[in-house]
Amino acid sequence: MWVASSTEGILTPTAVALGKFDGVHIGHQRVIKPILPWAQDKERWGGEKLAEKSTFPTANVTPLESQKKRIHSTVVTFDPHPQEFFTGQPRALLTPLDEKVEQLRSLGVEQLVLLPFDKELSALSPQDFVAKILVQQLQCQQISVGEDFCFGKKRTGTAKDLQTLAAKFNIPVTIVPIKTDTDELSRNSSDINTTLTEDNRISTSLIRQSLEAGDIEKANRLLGRPYTLTGVVIPGQKLGRTIGFPTANLQLPKGKFLPHQGVYAVRVLIHSQNPEVSPTENLGVMNIGNRPTVNATHFAVEVHLFDWSDDLYSKELVVQLVKFLRPEQKFPSLEALKTQIQLDCTVAREILASY
């Protein structure tokens, strides 16, 4: 997938999905789907109606016609995150750039364009954003946005405004309805009486809240996949091996959003340094926190793999969070900590066996 930090040298013309897309959750995926090369193939998608309507009839555009026009499926987002720009405070992300690229690539997106979110861009009126960015620079032929999309100076432009402005340039705009967690519960479970928050729209904010609360099942449901922590194994204090539970200390990407501190049941993919070798799968428990029992001096993310004895240093681990087991706590002795870890492992094995 082609990744560009500006609109210079990008692949044009484009079919664009617009948004922040932190998390690339199932709501984002619905916004991205209409701009994919095969998305207009009704037979492939079972005739699913994704949007209320478009300004122009795009439903009859076939993949073959898209190829003839050489329209490149493009996700357009912003760097830095607009909230980070306006507050001046760093914002931890569900999907830092490398993870976002991987998720978009897996969906079939051809190109990711990171618009530099600066004073100049934030000052553009909705009309100028469409004319200068979408038409002149991106050469848009088709656009897809979520129903709650806002753009332009002070977020004054709405999805409907975008549809109207783009129509002046003969650009169809697909507005994708907001998806809710209720939709997912009714589709995936017979128990539709599960308690939901007042605002149960599938969103990055709701996923962050779920992770902060340790509700991993809900976060994973909203993402459409397990929430992952990807990092390289680095030397730690090697305290775990002294009580019979060696751990891999992970160095995570800067700015990665971390869930509630505590212990988790996890699935782990161990990547080989040879890219042609498939990752090894394993099960284990992970602790996120300050390790108060051993008076540790720094925050750490540590994974203990079941039935594993090989060297993990410098290997990349992709840790999939399955269930939150308990908060981090201080134990009166190392023996008490060891007993609790044994119990954690037993519980985790049972959970992971049925996952």
Give the Cβ contact number of residue 80 at 10 Å.
Answer: 16
- pTM of the prediction? 0.85
Tell me which of 167, 200, 223 is where a domain ends: 223
My answer on whether 199 and 266 are in the same domain is no
Which ranges of 70-224 does DSSP label H, i.e. alpha helix?
A: 82-87, 97-107, 119-122, 126-128, 159-167, 181-188, 204-212, 216-223
Query: Which tokens hold the place of 203?
Result: 């969103």
My answer on whether 265 and 306 are in the same domain is yes
Q: What is the pLDDT of residue 56?
A: 37
My answer on whether 24 and 164 are in the same domain is yes
My answer on whether 22 and 94 are in the same domain is yes
Residue 337's nearest CA partner among 243, 237, 223, 216 is: 243
**155: region left, alpha or beta (phi > 0 left; psi from -120 to 50 alpha):** left
Task: List the chain residues with pLDDT less than 50.
Answer: 40-67, 190-198
My answer on whether 249 and 165 are in the same domain is no
At 31-53, the pLDDT tens digits run 999 999 866 444 334 444 444 44
At 88-137, the pLDDT tens digits run 999 999 999 999 999 999 999 999 999 999 999 999 999 999 999 999 99
Handedness of CA 56, 57, 63, 68 (dihedral sign): negative
Which structural domain, as residue segments, surrounds residue 272? Answer: 228-353
Query: Which tokens hold the place of 106?
Result: 């897996």
SS3 283: strand
Q: What is the pLDDT of residue 57?
A: 37
Residue 57's nearest CA partner among 156, 181, 208, 167 is: 167
SS3 176: strand
My answer on whether 269 and 161 are in the same domain is no
My answer on whether 48 and 130 are in the same domain is yes
SS3 150: strand
User: How many domains in the chain?
Assistant: 3
